[in-house]
């Protein structure tokens, strides 16, 4: 029902701290945009700027084509789900959900029907007479969602809504949020520091670092072609293996002096990277040509069931390999890591993707 457009949005606090250093994002109607990044990267500040809870120092925020820089949070017609849910502790679930509608002067019977139908969707019907403190974490989370949905706003904002739930519930709610967002078709912006949540939920993924956007794109595009070493190490678990290159006499070598044996995709390449699943582990001494071959020593094996992670020392750094099923390797084993050239990622000195 609405697009959200940020143009060079900046936030500078009175102390001089620049939390958001010029961010431009265009979110099409009905899409779910996830802002992801480490803590302190400015993602929550950016969300609060869209919500109207923080002023915008410069640049513009437009909702549905209208610039809302000077519009108060109430008039922006958006709803937010807070990390700690921010339920009104002295009100029953029903009143928590009805509060926003009452403030907008919705007729009583309409409030009643909307609250009840929303409660039905979220399976809260039996809890309408309870107070927030009588609810479990997951139920509180649902009420917070219900309070946002019942108002039927133009945009939903989610500020790390699942971080207070246990892992199992988080997985359930993630799917539920995605389904709800799709059925309701409301443009949404979702802030998280969890890359798994980011990957699974996003239509558009925005990776932020130190107040700036590192990369915007579809989650899998970002996964397959990270724009920088930061994105490469932030998206994906375990993260991409990154090995610094030094220019040797006979071509680039790794930190421990191992020659990589072929020319990088770009002359400016200063770091090479490969995903843990993009390389083969072999005990075979024969090296295929046109591939990076690294002698590695297994340091630890983490079996997680369907797959195992091998932590190895290779090329002077620690790398992680993902192998299917049970790993045949034991700590202390010597093996070879073979990554085909087309699966390698190259980054220049500043960390930018090249080649």
* Residues lying near other proteins in the complex (CB under 8 A): 51-53, 72-74, 78-80, 82-84, 86, 88-90, 99-100, 103-104, 132-133, 147, 151
Nearer to other proteins, 72 or 305 (CB): 72
Three-class HEC string of 233-298: HHCCCCCCEEEEEEEECCEEEECCCCECCCCCCCCCCCEEEECCCCEEEECCCCCCCCEEEEEEEE
Closest separation between CB of residue 342 and other proteins, Å? 48
Closest separation between CB of residue 135 and other proteins, Å? 12
Q: Are 154 and 2 in contact (CB under 8 A)?
A: yes
Nearer to other proteins, 15 or 289 (CB): 15
Closest separation between CB of residue 159 and other proteins, Å? 9
Cα–Cα distance measured from residue 324 to residue 316, given in angstroms and rounded to the nearest whole number: 25
User: Which parts of the chain fold into alpha helices (H)?
Assistant: 43-51, 93-103, 108-121, 137-149, 167-184, 195-201, 219-224, 229-234
Cα–Cα distance measured from residue 182 to residue 126, given in angstroms and rounded to the nearest whole number: 25
Nearer to other proteins, 77 or 203 (CB): 77
Closest separation between CB of residue 72 and other proteins, Å? 8
Cα–Cα distance measured from residue 99 to residue 299, given in angstroms and rounded to the nearest whole number: 57
**DSSP state letter for 258:** -
Cα–Cα distance measured from residue 217 to residue 160, given in angstroms and rounded to the nearest whole number: 20
Cα–Cα distance measured from residue 122 to residue 149, given in angstroms and rounded to the nearest whole number: 10
Closest separation between CB of residue 131 and other proteins, Å? 9
Nearer to other proteins, 159 or 197 (CB): 159
Closest separation between CB of residue 74 and other proteins, Å? 4
Neighbours of 292 (CB within 10 A): 22
Nearer to other proteins, 89 or 290 (CB): 89
Nearer to other proteins, 97 or 294 (CB): 97
């Amino acid at each position: 029902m609405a697009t959200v457009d940020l143009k060079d949005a900046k936030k500078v606090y009175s102390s001089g701290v620049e939390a958001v250093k010029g961010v431009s994002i265009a979110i099409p109607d009905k899409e779910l945009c996830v802002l992801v990044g480490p803590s302190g990267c400015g993602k929550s500040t950016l969300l609060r700027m869209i919500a109207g809870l923080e002023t915008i120092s410069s640049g513009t925020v437009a909702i549905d084509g209208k610039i809302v820089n000077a519009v108060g949070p109430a008039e922006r017609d958006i709803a937010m789900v807070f990390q700690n849910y921010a339920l009104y502790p002295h009100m029953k679930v029903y009143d928590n959900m009805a509060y926003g509608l009452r403030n907008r002067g919705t007729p009583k019977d309409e409030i009643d029907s909307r609250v009840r139908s929303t409660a039905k969707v979220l399976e809260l019907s039996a809890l309408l007479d309870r107070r927030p403190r009588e609810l479990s974490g997951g139920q509180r989370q649902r009420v917070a969602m219900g309070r946002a949905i019942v108002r039927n706003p133009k945009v939903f904002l989610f500020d790390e809504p699942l971080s207070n739930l246990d892992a199992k519930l988080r997985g359930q709610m993630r799917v539920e949020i995605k389904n709800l967002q799709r059925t309701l078709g409301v443009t949404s912006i979702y802030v998280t520091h969890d890359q798994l949540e980011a990957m699974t939920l996003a239509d558009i993924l925005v990776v932020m670092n130190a107040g700036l956007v590192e990369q915007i794109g579809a989650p899998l595009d970002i996964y397959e072609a990270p724009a920088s070493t930061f994105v490469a190490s932030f998206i994906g678990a375990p993260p991409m293996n990154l090995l610094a290159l030094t220019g040797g006499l006979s071509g680039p070598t790794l930190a421990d002096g191992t020659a990589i044996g072929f020319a990088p995709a770009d002359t400016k390449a200063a770091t090479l990277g490969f995903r843990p699943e993009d390389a083969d582990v072999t005990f075979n001494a024969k090296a295929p040509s046109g591939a990076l071959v690294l002698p590695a020593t297994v340091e630890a094996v983490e079996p997680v069931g369907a797959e195992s992670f091998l932590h190895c020392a290779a090329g002077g750094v620690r790398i992680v390999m993902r192998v299917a099923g049970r790993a045949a390797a034991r700590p202390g084993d010597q093996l070879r890591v073979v990554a085909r050239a087309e699966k390698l990622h190259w980054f220049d000195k500043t960390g930018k993707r090249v080649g």
